[in-house]
Amino acid sequence: MTSPRRTLRADAQRNREHLIATAAEAFASGRTVSLDAIAKRAGVGSGTLYRHFPTREDLVEEIYRDQIRPLRDDAQALLATEQPAQALHTWMCDFAEWAGERRGICEALVAMSASGRFGTGPVCDEVQRILGMLLTAGSEAGELRDGIDAADVGGVLAGLLSVAGAPEQRAQLDRMLTIVVDGLRARG
């Protein structure tokens, strides 16, 4: 996990915050940057970076921790204006757009899903909560099947982003999401 388990000393907290800011800037450049290069840019040793962020995914999630929260409001607004199954589809498309604008987040989600860690960090936790809210609304409306695990849908979404997450693939992603949502519909 990326969250400190205890209160950090002031210098350790400054290092952590500086690493996050440096990594955010590096990722925004659009180039792939190693964790060691980020540590060097931040003026700290690699050991300091890995102590705070054991994996690249941990660092990426921490960078985008606060940026994902508005997506919950978006999901609630969609549920207020669309049927739940359509709200789910629209939200997943919106999430793909959000993720595509943030360097490294798609790769981190795919890596977490592949390792079975999906849902163990701030971004994945929030994605799961949002998907859970949408799935529950769909189930309660009789549109979506009962008992669908939000983590499973999140893993499917991560997988789809790995094969069709680029902006020029949005039409393909939309078609694939349509298939996913159709598969989640209640049978009756």
* Dihedral sign for Cα atoms in the order 130, 59, 106, 113: negative
Tell me the average pLDDT across 139-159: 94
Q: What's the pTM?
A: 0.77
Estimate the crossing angle of helix 105-115 against helix 150-164, to 10 degrees: 130
Judge whether residue 171 has pLDDT over 60. yes
What percentage of the chain has pLDDT greater than the value 70? 86
Which amino acid, one-letter code, is at 75?
Answer: A
Place 118 in a pLDDT band, splitting at 50, 70 and 90: low
Judge whether residue 157 has pLDDT over 60. yes
Output the pLDDT for position 141: 97
